[in-house]
Chains A and B, each alone.
Chain A
Amino acid sequence: MITTSGLTKVYESRGRQVTALDGVDLHVREGEVFGVIGQSGAGKSSLIRCVNLLERPTSGTVTVDGVDLTALAGKSRRAGRDLRRARSSIGMVFQHFNLLSSRTVKDNIELPLEILGVSGAERSRRALELLDLVGLADKAKSYPGQLSGGQKQRVGIARALAGEPKVLLSDEATSALDPETTRSILQLLRDLNQQLGLTVLLITHEMDVVKTICDSAALMQKGRIVESGTVSELLATPGSQLAAELFPVSGAHTGPDRTVVDVTFHGDAATQPVISQLSRTYNIDISILGAAMDTVGGRQIGRMRIELPGRYEDNVVPVGFLREQGLQVEVVEETLTEETVVQGAATLLVKEGAK
């Protein structure tokens, strides 16, 4: 639905060149919620703003719903009629809502319809319908200044949907909201994604957002996508930073002569209770040191750190059993170097989130 290839954006300020995007290839499938996560300055904002060409990419192409927007834009700095029409079928929501304080909630939602040249009666009908959809039917005549942050973002979402877009871009839509409101807005986005088949591309610095609603995710660093894929693909990738942050596990060896392994469930296998089967089949006691699991559509996704008695050499057969079940198994060395690295990365992102 959204494809960028070789997307590059170089800003020039006072003779210095800053590369915000460095050859970004992104592919968002129709009907999925795709999250791009990264620290501030990683280029997320530039990326999402290049998708509807609010920002002109220095090179590379952007295709949305089969239309090459970069070709429509041409060389001119101003947005021509074709590009403007294409934009009107891409909804966008913003961190700071960007509602017109001089218009009522209903008039704000009608604005994109006015631009599309929809007649007054029809505009009014659509706006009320959308207000109902986002659960603010009683606020039509209020002004944005009278609403809470969460309500404003609902209006922002309703406005973004007015032109019946197939794609919704979300630029840190929940970053200015408290955790509870964030959850309700994410739930709304999820519902819209499922009810309307809306494709959502969102950028965020909050891992929770990705965890809550994303089907796929990409990690951005220094203007590049360093990891990308569906959540289960990421889990299946050994050493994936995103997977480690989405499903963090920890826990150290409880004593010598014990084997600690990380078991990754990536949805394609293991609908059976493998851990208890393992325990019964080989008559061993298993301790669960840590786990981060989710069940999505009856499939288990996540990671678990378990401890088996005996050295690794004694546990080759049980480990083989787990692998046979289609699980990914990694042995954790006693020094736990890997974990320290993962935790280091996690702390970085937490710090970022605190900003």
Chain B
Amino acid sequence: MTWSEMQPLLEQGTVDTLYMVLWATVVTVLGGLPLGILLVLTDKGGLLQNLPVNKVVGAIVNIGRSLPFIILLIALIPFTTLVVGTFIGPTAMIVPLAIGAIPFFARLVETSIREVDHGLVEAVQAMGGGIPTIVRKVLLPQALPSLVSGVTTTVIVLIGYSAMAGAVGGEGLGSKAVTYGYQRFDTTFMLVTVVVLVLIVTVVQLIGDGVVRLLARRGRTA
């Protein structure tokens, strides 16, 4: 394949990958953040201690995390069809991508929130703050740099997942690499696709680290 043949494929692939990953990230954060907070609050000694809820949510998250993504992708086909109307194409892929990443992100959120000094929670309780105040004004802002790191990691995991989704009717760079690189034995195209993926991951990591550094510049020693 010549460069002029590769270029449109790579462009289309990149656009599709970014589209899938972006929307999947949005859905993952919207789903995983509350789940992670719930895991912390309902845990033993938590502000909303509720062990049955904690155990059930924890178990669902663990199951979600232990399923291999490729299995999840196939198992979710009926559900994806129900939500999007089809199970092929980038839009359809957002569903399994998000569902695969939510449990992962929820655990990252849980870890970040747990790292917030309990003394701060106590201080706000002593001021008369309730649980919504504590979550909004203490837990989330204090954990923000760590949460941003978590989002960065999640985006990168999603880029990996999205390449896999290419094998099952998704679009994007992964699908292009499989169709043109692997099935047509075009090693050069395969390598170029990999380089583009590496570039995307690097850029995402750089942006994430930059934001974390910006947030951390506020001299964070309590």
* Chain A contact residues, CB within 8 Å of chain B: 52, 54, 77-79, 81, 84-88, 90, 92, 94, 96-103, 111-112, 114-116, 143-146, 159, 163, 169
Q: Which 4 A-B pairs have the closest CB atoms?
A: A145-B219, A88-B128, A98-B123, A84-B128
Chain B, interface residues (CB within 8 Å), range: 20 to 34
Q: B130 an interface residue at 8 Å Cβ cutoff?
A: yes
A157 nearest CB across to chain B (Å): 13
Using known A-B contacts A87-B125, A111-B127, A111-B137, determine if residue A100 contacts B219 with beta carbons closer than 8 Å: no
A162 nearest CB across to chain B (Å): 8
A87 CB contacts on chain B under 8 angstroms = 125-128
B117 CB contacts on chain A under 8 angstroms = 98
B130 adjacent to A144 (CB under 8 Å): no
Q: B169 an interface residue at 8 Å Cβ cutoff?
A: no
Using known A-B contacts A78-B48, A115-B128, A115-B133, determine if residue A101 contacts B122 with beta carbons closer than 8 Å: no
Q: Choose one: B125, B126, B219; the contact of A143 (CB below 8 Å).
A: B219
A97 CB contacts on chain B under 8 angstroms = 222
- 1/0 contact trace for B113-132 toward A, CB 8 Å? 00001011011111111110
Q: Specify the chain A residue showing the minimal Cβ separation from B141.
A: A102
B119 adjacent to A94 (CB under 8 Å): yes
B218 CB contacts on chain A under 8 angstroms = 101-102, 143, 145
Using known A-B contacts A111-B124, A145-B219, determine if residue A100 contacts B130 with beta carbons closer than 8 Å: no
Can you list 21 A-B pairs, Cβ within 8 angstroms, ordered by A? A77-B49, A78-B48, A84-B128, A86-B128, A87-B125, A88-B127, A88-B128, A92-B126, A97-B222, A99-B120, A99-B222, A100-B137, A100-B141, A101-B142, A101-B218, A102-B215, A102-B218, A114-B137, A115-B133, A145-B221, A159-B127
B214 nearest CB across to chain A (Å): 12
* A116–B131 CA distance with the chains assembled, in angstroms: 14
B84 nearest CB across to chain A (Å): 38
B48 nearest CB across to chain A (Å): 7
A92 CB contacts on chain B under 8 angstroms = 123, 126
B133 CB contacts on chain A under 8 angstroms = 115
A332 nearest CB across to chain B (Å): 47
A85 CB contacts on chain B under 8 angstroms = 128
- 1/0 contact trace for B192-222 toward A, CB 8 Å? 0000000000000000000000010011111
* A100–B117 CA distance with the chains assembled, in angstroms: 10
Q: Specify the chain A residue showing the minimal Cβ separation from B48.
A: A78
B215 CB contacts on chain A under 8 angstroms = 102
A143, A163, A169: residue with the most chain B Cβ atoms closer than 10 Å:
A143
* A115–B122 CA distance with the chains assembled, in angstroms: 14
Using known A-B contacts A96-B222, A102-B144, determine if residue A163 contacts B125 with beta carbons closer than 8 Å: no
Q: Choose one: A84, A96, A100, A143; the contact of B138 (CB below 8 Å).
A: A100
Q: B47 an interface residue at 8 Å Cβ cutoff?
A: yes
Q: Specify the chain B residue showing the minimal Cβ separation from A144.
A: B222
A315 nearest CB across to chain B (Å): 56
B130 adjacent to A96 (CB under 8 Å): no
B127 adjacent to A115 (CB under 8 Å): yes
Q: Specify the chain A residue showing the minimal Cβ separation from B126.
A: A92
